Amino acid sequence: MDTVEKALGEWRRERPDLDPSPIGVFGRLRRVAELSRHELEGYLAPYGLTPKSFDVLANLRRGGPPYRKTPSELAESSLLSSGAMTGRLDSLEKAGLIGRTPHPGDRRVMFAELTPAGIELIDEVFALHLANEETLLAGLDRDRRDEIAAALAELERTIQNAVAGREPRPRRTPRR
């Protein structure tokens, strides 16, 4: 019995009037996210990368030549604020993995662009990253992976729809 199963059993015992099954979904999602984040951090550290810097490099690389985007484009495709993106870009530029070039049509906008060293690093690390993730998923055949990916996509849509349609929550004052 793992931690999630134990928590479910305890809630069923303590509050039989409630259905704790959402804990089975969200508890496992949190555990899988934490395990994969920890694995990725450890895997990227020897390359001087963090998951956030890896995400920026991969985002630029997968965009194709000339491997450049504005900070706003990067933030939008990473679901981050452009302010948060600026710090990431600063550290990648200091490391020589990206450069910044002015936008030809708008002097207020700078492009972040992979340098040759950035392309070389992300190409190497991304191939190894996929091989590592393949190892992590080795216990699942292709059909099962596809089922899980489809179920997670469905879950994401379900949550997005629930959040979009929800009334704002009333503020609750704490009891004293």
Rounded to two decimals, what is the model's pTM? 0.82
Instruction: Give the Cα separation of 3 and 56 in Å (integer).
Output: 34
Q: Give the end-to-end CA distance of the chain in Å, rounded to a whole number.
A: 37
Residues ≥6 apart with Cβ < 8 Å to 136: 36, 39
pLDDT tens for each residue of the chain, 176 residues long: 889 999 999 999 999 999 999 999 999 999 999 999 999 999 999 999 999 999 999 999 999 999 999 888 898 888 667 777 888 999 999 999 999 998 888 888 889 999 999 999 999 999 999 999 999 999 999 999 999 999 999 999 999 999 998 887 777 777 76
- Strand 98-103 to 106-114 pairing: antiparallel
Q: What is the CATH code of the structural domain delimited by 48-162? A: 1.10.10.10
Where exactly are the structural domains of the chain?
A: 1-47, 48-162
